[in-house]
Amino acid sequence: MKIYIGSDHAGVDLKTCVKERFGGRFEFNDLGTFTSESVDYPDFAHPVAENVLKDNGSFGILICGTGNGMAITANKHAGIRAALCWSPDIAALARQHNNANIIVLPARFISPETAIETFEAFFSAQFEGGRHQRRIDKINL
């Protein structure tokens, strides 16, 4: 499974951690940032969202301090469902009910261990369809 991954400076360490832990299982396409120098989260959220939309079946992961900047930006793209996830249960439901195609992690408010479990739960869960598809069909304006 191909995953486009991006972070700002607040998320760069967690991005490295996720890639190291899951590199054998997923094909990560890292769109930056690559240092702790201060950057602007939309410069990474937009490219990840655009690639996920273009590349059928791919997913995205975005990481910033709170996760909110990344989620707000990515969700500007019609067809992107970016879910801010801070626990394994929330992450599983983001896939099961919302068919989220980008997981957003709040690096400053989640431990690396919980982030790994949250990521794992997201990619272990399946979209349930049915009434959830009906609701998703009503999202876009």
Smallest distance from ligand RB5 to CB 122, Å: 20
Is 85 among the residues known to form the active site?
Answer: no
Query: CA 117, 114, 4, 12 torsion: positive or negative?
Result: negative
The reply to whether omega before 33 is within 30° of 0 (cis) is yes
Residue for token pair 């998703």:
136
Among 8, 15, 94, 115, binds ligand RB5 (CB under 6 A): 8
25 vs 108, beta carbon nearer ligand RB5: 108
Using the contact rule CB under 6 A, the part of the chain among 64-72, 79-87, 96-104, 114-122 near ligand RB5 is 64-72
Of 28-47, which residues contact ligand RB5 (CB under 6 A)?
A: 41
Neighbours of 58 (CB within 10 A): 18
Asked whether the beta carbons of 41 and 59 are under 8 A apart, the reply is no
Helix, coil or strand: residue 24: coil
How crowded is residue 61: how many other Cβ atoms within 10 Å of its Cβ?
30
Among 3, 10, 84, 85, binds ligand RB5 (CB under 6 A): 10
Q: CB of residue 10 vs ligand RB5: minimum separation in angstroms?
A: 4
Query: Known catalytic residues?
Result: 64, 97
**Residues at the contact surface with ligand RB5, assessed by CB under 6 A:** 8, 10, 41, 64-66, 68-69
